[in-house]
Amino acid sequence: MNKPTLVVLAAGMGSRYGGLKQMDPMGPNGETVLDYSVFDAIRAGFDRVIFIIREDFSDLFKQQIGDKFRKQIKVEYAYQKLDDLPSGFSAPTDRVKPWGTTHAVLAARQRIQESPFAVINADDFYGQDAFKQMAKHFASKPSTSEEIAQCSMVGYSLENTLSEHGNVNRGICSLKDKLLITVEEHLEISAEDDGVCRGENLQGERIPLPKSSIVSMNFWGFPPSLISDLQAHFDRFLEERGNELKSECYIPTVIDEMIQSGRAECTVLETSSSWFGVTYPDDKDSCVSSLKTLVENGEYPQQLW
């Protein structure tokens, strides 16, 4: 089996955070959260990283982030562009943002041909064990049948992924025997004044959500053959919702549709790692404190690179 590739979704505009949080220093020596993810991926056995970024901050990203990894891992880039669409489609005139996480992964479609690949967010901390479990799963699934794609996902508890400073979006999962049965993206999730956690489903209904729910934090493992499925789903999405100014095509929605149609199985990987991230500016202090503790406990060296 070819060694796995890490695909990092780093094109986000950080509208809630107020800046490019994927490049914001968080660690004791100015490391970003992304530094720790790449470090963990390297020691788990990944041999290539593809950063999905925007062209307008490409030079800055390469100088501050990508160049520091070049001696440890093969580094490549792909650009998520609003007008990178299949033949026959075009973006609405007033649309500003690209088309979501599925569209972001497809930006690297020409670069993912032979090796299994993991997908992560640039601004989320997933932890050393999460990368180990993903690499272990790839090694145990060296091939994929043409009929059923063998996917995987690292799952975290909803209550451990909320922000005290505002709403968050999460993929809410149902499981059976460690296999993902359904996953549905929910938006604007928060613990409300009555203690109940609620969020909006994709039908716009605000519903209660158990705090113990397993959620997707966008740490996925895919065979290279999945690219064609992502493309087919994205084409259908554009046919149905391409005229909307803010519609997005989410990876959890694609995987859920494939599971329901019997075209994919998705193993939910258990991990001892803790997740944390920065959605809002006020989340930064907690992130900085958590990284400091991990370094002090010896889980990471004082100087990563």
Angle, CA 134 vertex, CA 130 and CA 139 arms, to 5°: 145
Residue 85 sits at φ, ψ, to 5 deg, of -130, 155
Mean pLDDT over residues 155-177, rounded? 88
Q: Which of 11-15, 98-102, 108-112, 269-273 has the lowest mean pLDDT?
A: 11-15
Whether the per-residue pLDDT at 96 is higher than 70: the answer is: yes
179 pLDDT band, cuts 50/70/90, is very high
CATH of domain 5-296: 3.90.550.10
18 pLDDT band, cuts 50/70/90, is very low
pLDDT of residue 135: 96
Residue ranges per structural domain of the chain: 5-296
Q: Which of 120-124, 125-129, 246-250, 271-275 has the lowest mean pLDDT?
A: 271-275
Residue 84 sits at φ, ψ, to 5 deg, of -80, 85
pLDDT of residue 163: 81
Cα–Cα distance between 248 and 99 in angstroms, integer? 5
Mean pLDDT over residues 287-292, rounded? 94
Whether the per-residue pLDDT at 14 is higher than 60: the answer is: no
Whether the per-residue pLDDT at 15 is higher than 70: the answer is: no
Whether the per-residue pLDDT at 57 is higher than 70: the answer is: yes
Cα–Cα distance between 126 and 164 in angstroms, integer? 19
Mean pLDDT over residues 127-141, rounded? 93
pLDDT of residue 296: 96
Interval 203-238: pLDDT, tens: 899 999 999 899 989 999 999 999 999 999 999 999
- Lookup: tokens for 91: 């973006």
Whether the per-residue pLDDT at 114 is higher than 90: the answer is: no
Residue 112, SS3?
coil
Distance of CA 16 to the CA centre of its chain: 17
Cα–Cα distance between 172 and 86 in angstroms, integer? 29
pLDDT of residue 186: 92
Percent of the chain with pLDDT over 70: 95
168 pLDDT band, cuts 50/70/90, is confident
Which residues 6+ apart lie within 8 Å of 237 measured at CB?
Answer: 99, 102, 247, 249
Whether the per-residue pLDDT at 171 is higher than 70: the answer is: yes
What is the overall mean pLDDT for the chain?
90
278 pLDDT band, cuts 50/70/90, is confident
- Asked if 153 and 214 count as a contact pair (C-beta separation under 8 A), the reply is no
Whether the per-residue pLDDT at 16 is higher than 60: the answer is: no
Q: How far is CA 285 from CA 14, 242, 273, 288, in A?
A: 17, 38, 20, 5
Percent of the chain with pLDDT over 90: 70
For 67, counting Cβ atoms within 10 Å of its Cβ (0-12 exposed, 13-18 middle, 19+ buried), the class is: exposed
52 pLDDT band, cuts 50/70/90, is very high
Which own/partner contact pairs does 24-29 have at CB distance under 8 Å and 24+ positions apart? 24/278, 24/284, 26/278, 26/284, 26/287, 26/288, 26/291, 27/288, 27/291, 27/292, 27/295, 27/304, 28/291, 28/292, 28/295, 28/302, 29/302, 29/303, 29/304
Whether the per-residue pLDDT at 113 is higher than 90: the answer is: no
pLDDT of residue 175: 94
pLDDT of residue 272: 85
pLDDT of residue 20: 62
pLDDT of residue 13: 53
Interval 146-156: pLDDT, tens: 578 999 999 99
- Alpha helices of the chain — where are they, by DSSP H? 33-44, 58-64, 101-106, 128-140, 226-241, 251-260, 284-296
pLDDT of residue 142: 59
